[in-house]
């Protein structure tokens, strides 16, 4: 099968863009991310990754895939399985029918990842577009070129245990009713994302940033657990799924596209503002990393102050953006 693999910044938005483009839609990664309203922040102390609370900078897994329903009336089928054998049998059958199939997997068990990039994260998305002998042909958007994966390794990655266990999840579009993006759909997607970032939920959006800042500033600087948590926040931001700054840059690129698509030229100026906010997230990560690496003293209140400043800037940004698309 001829498949147009394109490198992307983030796995799920990259998978969705590549998959929909395969089905004839003019689609970029940033457009998929923005139409799904996927920019977010959440502090989830009740969900653990490697023993630490989840700090998310985008919507929950599958949100970008499901976000294609409204703008394109796209209907995806999701299937999970009780056994590796059943999951592999179904994947092989879909490939034989000519489908390109999305999978949710664990990064840790994918052998084409360099050893120092493997960790127990169960929400990594990729596409399978063929099979050659015992190897699956994979379009993993975080890699520049297509890769191969032996069937046993892929099965292990699909059925990894732990938080967000994929349970062999696969998905593919059953039908796509609309082939173009309507201006109203773009404006609705932006308004929805603004509501999410400004929602009155303590753990989400700008309130989630302030909640985490409050937790951080009360931590004892001398405790090893404090440095471990700060290091975890940096890893969640910069290594797992593009991170806080990267997602802001993707959404800024979407706003550049949206200025024309939504017939709102003012959105281009919002793209510039969000890029500056993304630079602020990079500064936050750099400050935290320096503390973790003992290049400067661990100071939780300083990290909390930076996070509160970002919350203030994002609150103003999303309130004004909401007004711009009304």
Query: What's the pLDDT score for residue 238?
Result: 65
Give one DSSP letter per residue of 74-120, joined into a string.
Answer: EEEEEE--SSHHHHHHHHHHHHHTT--EEEEE-GGG-TTS-GGG---
DSSP structural state of residue 56: E
- Answer whether 325's CB lies under 8 Å from 258's CB: no
- Answer whether 72's CB lies under 8 Å from 66's CB: no
Going from the N-terminus, what domains does the chain have, and what CATH number goes with each?
11-176 (3.90.70.10), 183-324 (no CATH)
Query: What's the pLDDT score for residue 240?
Result: 57
Query: What separation in angstroms does the CA of 149 have from each of 8, 129, 143, 264, 316?
Result: 19, 12, 13, 44, 46
Q: Which of helix, strand or coil describes residue 193?
A: helix
CB neighbour list of residue 96: distance below 8 Å, 6 or more residues apart: none
Radius of gyration of the chain (CA): 20
* Cα 308 from Cα 271, distance rounded (Å): 21
Name which of 205, 274, 169, 207 is nearest 58 in CA terms: 205
Print pLDDT tens along the chain (326 aa): 789 999 998 899 999 999 999 999 989 999 999 999 999 999 999 888 778 888 988 888 899 999 999 999 999 999 999 999 999 999 999 999 999 999 999 999 999 999 888 888 888 999 999 999 999 999 999 999 999 999 999 999 999 998 889 999 999 999 999 999 999 999 999 999 999 999 999 999 999 999 999 999 999 999 999 999 998 888 777 665 555 688 999 999 999 999 999 999 999 999 999 999 999 999 999 999 999 999 999 999 999 999 999 999 999 999 999 999 98
* Cα 168 from Cα 78, distance rounded (Å): 10
Model confidence pTM above 0.85: yes
Query: What's the pLDDT score for residue 119?
Result: 80
- Answer whether 93's CB lies under 8 Å from 196's CB: no
Query: What's the pLDDT score for residue 239?
Result: 60
* Cα 173 from Cα 265, distance rounded (Å): 32
Buried residues in 224-236 as b, exposed as e (16+ CB within 10 A): eebbebbbbbbbb
- Answer whether 65's CB lies under 8 Å from 123's CB: no
Query: What's the pLDDT score for residue 80?
Result: 97
């Amino acid at each position: 099968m001829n498949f147009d693999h394109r490198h992307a910044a983030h796995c799920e938005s990259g998978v969705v863009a590549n998959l929909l483009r395969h089905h004839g839609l003019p689609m970029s990664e940033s457009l998929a991310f923005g139409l799904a309203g996927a920019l977010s922040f959440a502090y989830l102390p009740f969900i653990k990754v490697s023993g630490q609370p989840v700090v998310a900078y985008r919507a929950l897994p599958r949100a970008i895939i499901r976000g294609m329903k409204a703008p394109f009336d796209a209907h995806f089928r999701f299937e999970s399985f009780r056994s590796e054998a059943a999951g592999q049998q179904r994947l092989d059958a879909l490939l034989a029918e000519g489908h390109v199939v999305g999978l949710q997997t664990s990064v840790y068990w994918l052998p084409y990842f360099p050893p120092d990039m493997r960790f127990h994260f169960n929400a990594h998305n990729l596409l399978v577009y063929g099979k050659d002998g015992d190897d699956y042909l994979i379009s993993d958007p975080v890699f520049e070129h297509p890769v191969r994966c032996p069937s046993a390794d892929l099965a292990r990655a699909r059925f990894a245990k732990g938080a967000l266990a994929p349970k062999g999840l696969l998905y593919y579009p059953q039908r796509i009713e609309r082939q173009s993006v309507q201006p109203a759909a773009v404006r609705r997607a932006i308004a929805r994302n603004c509501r999410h970032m400004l929602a009155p939920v303590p753990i989400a959006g700008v309130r989630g940033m302030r909640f985490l800042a409050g937790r951080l500033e009360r931590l004892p600087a001398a405790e090893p657990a404090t440095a471990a948590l700060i290091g975890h926040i940096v890893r969640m931001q910069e290594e797992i799924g593009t991170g806080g700054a990267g997602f802001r840059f993707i959404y800024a690129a979407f706003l550049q596209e949206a200025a024309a698509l939504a017939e709102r030229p003012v959105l281009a100026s919002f793209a510039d503002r969000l890029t500056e906010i993304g630079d602020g997230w990079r500064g936050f990560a750099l400050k935290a990393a320096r503390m973790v690496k003992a290049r400067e003293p661990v100071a939780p209140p300083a990290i909390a102050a930076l996070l509160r400043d970002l919350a203030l800037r994002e609150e103003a940004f999303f309130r004004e953006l909401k007004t711009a698309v009304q």
